[in-house]
Structure 1
Amino acid sequence: MTASKVEKMTATVEMVEAGGRKLRVAHWRLGERSDHPPILFFNGIGANIEAVAPLAEKLSERGFVMFDMPGTGESPDPSVPYNPFTMAWTATKVLDHLAIDTVDVMGVSWGGAIAQHFALQHPKRTRRLVLAATTAGMLMVPGKLSALTKMADPRRYIDPEYMNEHFMTLYGGMTKRPGSKAQHIGRLKPPSPRGYLYQLIAMLGWTSLPALPFMDKEVLIMMGGEDSIVPVVNGRILAAAIRNSRLEVFEDGGHLFLLTHADESVAVLREFLDAPDSPSEQRRAA
């Protein structure tokens, strides 16, 4: 196990064998006393640990765990394709390695789908669920074609000029916060072609919508009102399908509102995660 600098502060970063895969795992504050369960975070497509490290740093009162998907960041290329079922199971092996039983689960965009699947597949290890800028899978309302075509193009990670030219189309409100655009680009590391392709095909045919009415968790849904990739209506669909859910819309936020509206996002997260147990949670704990 080695310590690594992640976004100015120290996280513990290690290569972990989990479910037959080698993954680069980062975790914060697991050895510190906390009244809160750690957060297990699933990142967006192609994104590496460093892209969301600022969020992990801001949630300083609780542990935080995330990992580079196969072929992203510094995790080796996947040898075979995977799907939400196998990756959710693999995540439990990461938690086993870290001796963590129960977590609050959070996912953004592509990772929001994995987070939903994890909560449905492993309910005993999930306390609460946070879904940010995400959808119910294939049964979604698509964003603007101009944004979706650029989102699927791996040049946004590989070619800085391409990313700079199309940043507003991709991420909307990011450009409204001075310096945030350059800071975000500087944290990105391009995924491998195979890693990116396998993430794209992992969700083919997948949807959580039929199962969401059976979700027996408290769920916070966070959406950007100016998100051109995942329109806010997808959050409304999730909220309508999940009975114990709350929808929070950042009206001038784009797809990366967790970073552009960091203080506001963290305040909403804390309010939700720190709230007393609901009656249904109390019954499950009894």
Structure 2
Amino acid sequence: MRRTGSIRVESQQLSVQGLQIAMQVAGEGPPLLLINGMTRSQQSWKPFTRELTGRTIVTFDAPGVGDSPNALLPLSMAGHAALAVAVLDAAGLAEADVLGFSHGGAVAQQLACDAPDRVGRLVLAATSCGVGATPSRGRAVLSGVEALADEASWQFADALGLLWHSLAISSWSSISFLGAITAPTLVVCGTRDSVVPPANSRVLARRIPNASLVLLPAGHDLQLAEHATALA
């Protein structure tokens, strides 16, 4: 354990299903699990989390990103959601609010479907339903085509890791189960997001019960510090 200023920070390597997953727990208060975009490590949340107080922040690196080595074979989206459950277990949390950004928003949707008892409130930021997303540019980022260009400042994924993530999302869709999500859900997008345009967030907000939609005067990168209060 270490402290950054007065903030408690615990970092560890979690061993699950033969994978080594880097994770971090910081702060104190109601827990919030953050799930990264496709090419971003957990360090990409730092500008965002510095603006949050009174929360326990849980982050992790997916396989092939940041400090987590690649998986030998690609995980399914259900497999990625299972990793998120394992991270909550390792943090000693029965339930947490969950915020997923971009590709992480797809994982968060799967998590809310597969383990509804582990998700308090759900925030889906700059994301889509996967296959069937509208317009097609929204699908491009989640399949990795545009992710590197948009997230160039956070390129912590190696080529194989990016390929595995792309394969996981390439045939995935949440359309069939969005109506079964029970967590109170906030869908957030930037009005200037050309990577996952607002039409995708409107689809999510319409299909998820008890969901509300917030449009911010922003682009795709909702991990910026200025958006912390609106999202969390």
TM exceeding 0.5: yes
Q: Which residue of structure 1 lines up, in the alignment, with residue 222 of structure 2?
A: 257
User: Alpha-carbon deviations, 1:161-201, whole Å to 9, x = none?
Assistant: xx6xxxxxx37xxxxxxxxxxxx83xx34311111110111
SS of the residue corresponding to residue 12 of structure 2 reads strand
Q: Which residue of structure 1 lines up, in the alignment, with residue 196 of structure 2?
A: 230
Instruction: Give unpaired runs (5+ residues) of structure 1.
Output: 157-162, 164-169, 172-183, 271-286
CA distance in 2, matches of 1:15, 1:51: 18
1:4–1:153 CA distance, 2 compared to 1 (3 A): farther
Q: Which runs of 4+ in 1 moved over 6 A?
A: none
Q: Which residue of structure 2 lines up, in the alignment, with residue 83 of structure 1?
A: 76
CA distance in 2, matches of 1:213, 1:153: 29
What is the CA distance between 1:239 and its match in structure 2?
A: 0.8
Alignment of 1:137-176 (within 5 A): 137-142=130-135, 144=137, 152=145, 156=148, 170=150
1:204 maps onto 2:170 in alignment: yes
User: Alpha-carbon deviations, 1:208-231, whole Å to 9, x = none?
Assistant: 112111211210000010111100
Q: Which residue of structure 2 lines up, in the alignment, with residue 177 of structure 1?
A: none
Instruction: Give unpaired runs (5+ residues) of structure 2.
Output: none
SS of the residue corresponding to residue 209 of structure 1 reads coil
Q: Which residue of structure 1 lines up, in the alignment, with residue 10 of structure 2?
A: 12
Q: Which residue of structure 2 lines up, in the alignment, with residue 268 of structure 1?
A: 230
Percentage of identical aligned residues: 30
Larger Rg: 1
CA distance in 1, matches of 2:222, 2:89: 31
User: What letter is aligned with 2:72?
Assistant: S
Q: Which residue of structure 2 lines up, in the alignment, with residue 217 of structure 1?
A: 183
CA distance in 2, matches of 1:115, 1:148: 16
CA distance in 2, matches of 1:129, 1:18: 24
What is the CA distance between 1:3 and its match in structure 2?
A: 4.0
Give the CA RMSD over aligned residues.
Answer: 2.5
Aligned with residue 105 of structure 2, among 106, 112, 123: 112
TM-score normalised by L of structure 2: 0.89
Aligned with residue 24 of structure 2, among 26, 36, 49: 26
CA distance in 1, matches of 2:62, 2:2: 20
Task: Identify, as 1 or 2, the structure richer in helix.
Answer: 1
What is the CA distance between 1:269 and its match in structure 2?
A: 3.2
Q: Which residue of structure 1 lines up, in the alignment, with residue 159 of structure 2?
A: 193
